[in-house]
Chains A and B, each alone.
Chain A
Amino acid sequence: MIRNIKYSFIQLKNDKINFFLKILQMVFSLLILGLIISGFENNYQIIKKINHIRAGKEAFILWDSSSEDYRDTLYHTPGNDIKTRKVIDELLNADTEFIVFNNVLSNTIQGKQVEIIQVTPNFFDRYSIRGDFDMELVEKQFHIHTVENYDYSQNKNIAIVGSDYKKKYKIGDTIRDDYNSSSYEIIGFLDSNQSYIRPSEGKELNSLDNAIIMPVFIDLKSVDDMLLFLLSCQFLVDDISELDSIMKIINEDKVMDTYLRSYTTQLEFMSKEYSNEFLIEGILGGSLLLFAFLGMLCTMIQRIVDNAYEYAVNLLCGARIWDIYARIMFEFVMIIMTGVLVSVWVYGFSLASYVIVLIALICFALVSVFAIKKIDFGSLVENIRSRG
């Protein structure tokens, strides 16, 4: 065996350009394969995420239809703060599940615009947000903060931050904005490629890689703040009538000119769109997968065919047929392993990598069968004779 490995190394060294090209072919085939699988996986995860947000419930958002002038009037009408507070109290005391997702502001951190997002704890579960954070701590810390219950002495917000921050920060560190007006103590990191959906903004997913996520904060004395809070709620109900009491206060007290807009429709539209994409990708990806697979297979079979003459010469010089098999297998292990390692490096330990390993193993098995069928004394010696 050692002799065969040594021989293979010498052979590969002598034939390095050809061998390098085969490796390149294999790496590209596997990377294409990974790309297809990643696309599938990504779309599957998106559909799963969209469906998980509702989990069979109806989703609504409050849609502000008031004109700018009217809104201005409402905000500055004396006593409106009390009316708005009433809506919030009603909401907080009701059993209705709601997710708050509030893009409060963007801040500049180290010269970069960063989205500061306020969320309720259920946001992480409903939007299937994964990361390195303690959910129990999130449940405890991400409750809705108000001016009354907020401890200003620390002048520090707790935050779960996007994966981009992993390079520079660790849990416990504090991120400060460029104007030193806000600081965020990191209690966790999100995994990369986490995303959210903006209600009423099409089917696009928005990345959280650069975001800072903190608990919801409401100033219960500010009409602006309270209305922004209400407009940031995504209500999850079995029936729209669950929201009647809230709507009644809003409408009767003329808190704002608003109506309930279905978020379900947007989510269903998104789910359908992504399912269609999934189908198209499935057909295209399936074809590409087949070509990538055949490409890999051809690469390896071509190597056997290219080297058949050399194998035959080796047999004449004293190699056993098993020496030839061992050399072929060793070469393929080298080619496949390089391809697999590059793919795992690119795609990490993901579904794409597992499928790549599986496909590579199937290829290896098929090529081994091909090699054993194709390489026998008769055919190899015939190969020498046919060149004569």
Chain B
Amino acid sequence: MSLLHLNNIVKTYGNGDGLVHALRGIDLSIESGESIAIMGTSGCGKSTLLNILGFVDRFTQGIYQIEGKDTNLFTEKEKANFRNKIFGFVVQDFALIPRLRVDENIMLPLEYVKLSKKEKNKKVDALLSELGILDKKKAYPTNLSGGQKQRVAIARALVNDARILLCDEPTGALDSDTTHEIMEIFTKLNREEKKTLIIVTHDQAVAKYCDRIIQLSDGLVIKDNND
């Protein structure tokens, strides 16, 4: 049984003459522990696909299963629970809240989990230490470099021990050296901690870190090196 299975997923926006087909029928199976790069030109539907996978967007038609369970039957609460505990999101602009400190940003997903303050702090400290930014714990995002911000975003994605990392152009705002550092972190998480990694990127250099590359064009999978 696949971890994630998509069958003929269609996503349209608007209606009538303004109807836009973002996804035209995606069939895809993703196994636990895979590292996947979703590539394609701008507007081909790769981010839409990632959002559908992470329950931050709804599909118009098709079947999306997680470990064999039909997600159409999931309640909003269950989907939110998945976003909180199963998926970890890392996006291009880091999605950090500027008015919160690094530790407070990382603790955001823990707001939805019953844990003592001490346990929360312990988790945050362990992640910051692992990612080499423990000294930035009390800093605000504006005082961090791009690489440090993305490490904070990764820490937040992992704080609830997410099994699947959904990354939308995670290195899009970084220079090549920092891109390498961040991709090394993702690779380590995939190899050592068996996190399933799904990265949306248009950067070939980033895609090379992944075992599987899926090419999208005009809302369809046109190439999947797994096939």
Contact = CB atoms under 8 A, between A and B. Distances in A.
A318 B81 CA distance: 6
Nearest to A316: B89
A381 B57 contact: yes
A294 B144 CA distance: 39
B108 A388 contact: no
A317 B58 contact: no
Interface stretch (B30-38, B165-173, B180-188, B189-197): B165-173
A15 B76 contact: no
Nearest to A313: B95
Nearest to A318: B84
> Interface majority SS on A: helix, strand, loop or mixed?
helix
Contacts of B81: 318
A176 B99 CA distance: 64
Nearest to B55: A377
> Interface majority SS on B: helix, strand, loop or mixed?
mixed
A279 B95 CA distance: 54
B83 A385 contact: no
A388 B150 CA distance: 13
Contact of A388 (B83, B89, B99, B169): B169
A88 interface: no
Interface in B162-219: 168-169, 172-173
Contact of A318 (B51, B83, B92, B169): B83
Interface string B90-104: 011101110110001
Contact of A313 (B84, B108, B172, B173): B108
A319 interface: yes
A322 B76 contact: yes
Contacts of A321: 76
A384 B81 CA distance: 20
Contacts of B93: 384-385, 387-388
B99 A316 contact: no
Most-contacted residue by chain A among B54, B80, B93, B95 (CB, 10 A):
B95
Contacts of A318: 80-81, 83-85, 109, 111-112, 160
A326 interface: no
B156 interface: yes
A319 B85 CA distance: 11
B47 interface: yes
A111 interface: no
Interface residues of B, number: 33
A384 B80 contact: no
B59 to A, nearest CB: 12
Contact of B99 (A7, A15, A377): A15
A3 B89 CA distance: 22
Contacts of A319: 80, 111-112
Nearest to B113: A318
Contact of B56 (A14, A316, A323, A388): A316
B77 interface: yes
Contacts of B84: 317-318
Contacts of B54: 316
Contacts of B169: 388
A161 B161 CA distance: 75
Contacts of B100: 14
Contacts of B173: 388
A317 B108 contact: yes
A225 interface: no
A317 B169 CA distance: 18
A384 B99 contact: no
Nearest to B13: A378
Nearest to A17: B99
Interface in B105-146: 108-109, 111-112
B91 A385 contact: yes
A385 B111 contact: no
Interface in A334-388: 377-378, 381, 384-385, 387-388
B56 A381 contact: yes
Nearest to A385: B47
B163 to A, nearest CB: 14
Given A318-B80, A320-B80, 4 more contacts: A316-B83, A317-B89, A319-B111, A388-B91
15 contacts: A14-B99, A313-B96, A313-B97, A316-B89, A317-B83, A317-B108, A317-B156, A318-B111, A318-B160, A377-B58, A381-B56, A385-B91, A385-B92, A387-B93, A388-B173
Interface of A: 3, 7, 14-15, 309-310, 312-323, 377-378, 381, 384-385, 387-388
